[in-house]
């Protein structure tokens, strides 16, 4: 399946998990994905190495999305990390975190891919970062257009299919 189709489908799957009542926020979607997987996802602010916007850490029993403190694009970064997770990319196993933090402060910076669109770096390689970026962009776009009344979503979907 082409990357774009995979991303589009992942976004649709996440939106399908959206709570049926109340406003659908990104945080609520993260919670819904967490419930669906049966694994807690904690979202925290953190002081990450310079140039890193977000980080997904995998613990034995839960996941953590760390977002760089003071980042103006919080939502975008959170959606990006969620994209990595639902697209089946690998987060950073916790034992590796310390080692990577050292690497990123050294000349090994070059081994980290620079994400052109956000100026954020990720360890996963260009394709994976691009997928996560596409996911984030599409998810936030769809989220922004989502009616607060869940019952009308079906109509929106139909409108998209035929329109
Ligand atoms: Zn990334």
Q: Which pLDDT tens digits describe the chain residue by residue (163 residues)?
A: 676 899 999 999 999 999 888 888 999 999 999 999 999 999 999 988 777 888 898 888 899 999 999 888 889 999 999 999 999 987 777 655 555 655 554 444 434 443 333 445 565 677 888 899 999 999 999 998 876 555 444 544 555 555 4
Q: How far apart are the first and last CA of the chain?
A: 24
Domain residues of the chain, as ranges? 3-162
Between the CA of 83 and the centroid of ligand 1 the distance, in Å, is 8
Nearest to 85 by CA among 32, 45, 48, 49: 32
Between the CA of 85 and the centroid of ligand 1 the distance, in Å, is 10
pLDDT of residue 78: 95
Sign of the C-alpha dihedral computed for residues 36, 38, 39 and 40 taken in this order: positive
Ion ligand 1: residue ranges with CB closer than 5 A: 122, 129, 132
Between the CA of 87 and the centroid of ligand 1 the distance, in Å, is 11
pLDDT of residue 22: 83
pLDDT of residue 1: 64
Phi, psi of 123 (to 5 degrees): -85, -5
Gap between the Cα atoms of 124 and 147, Å rounded: 34
Between the CA of 163 and the centroid of ligand 1 the distance, in Å, is 33
Do 32 and 18 form a contact (C-beta atoms < 8 A)? yes
């Amino acid at each position: 399946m082409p990357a774009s189709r995979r991303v589009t489908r992942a976004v649709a799957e996440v939106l399908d998990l959206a709570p049926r009542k109340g406003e659908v926020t990104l945080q609520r979607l993260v919670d819904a994905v967490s419930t669906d997987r049966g694994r807690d996802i904690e979202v925290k602010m953190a002081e990450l190495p310079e140039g890193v916007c977000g980080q997904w850490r995998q613990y034995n029993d839960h996941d953590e999305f760390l977002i760089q403190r003071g980042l103006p694009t919080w939502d975008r970064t959170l959606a990006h990390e969620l994209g990595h997770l639902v697209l089946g990319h690998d987060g950073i196993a916790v034992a590796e975190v310390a080692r990577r933090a050292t690497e990123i402060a050294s000349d090994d910076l070059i081994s980290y891919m620079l994400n052109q669109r956000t100026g954020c770096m990720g360890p996963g390689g260009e394709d994976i970062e691009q997928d996560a970026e596409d996911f984030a962009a599409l998810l936030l776009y769809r989220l922004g257009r989502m009616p607060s009344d869940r019952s009308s979503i079906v109509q929106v979907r139909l409108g998209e299919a035929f329109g």
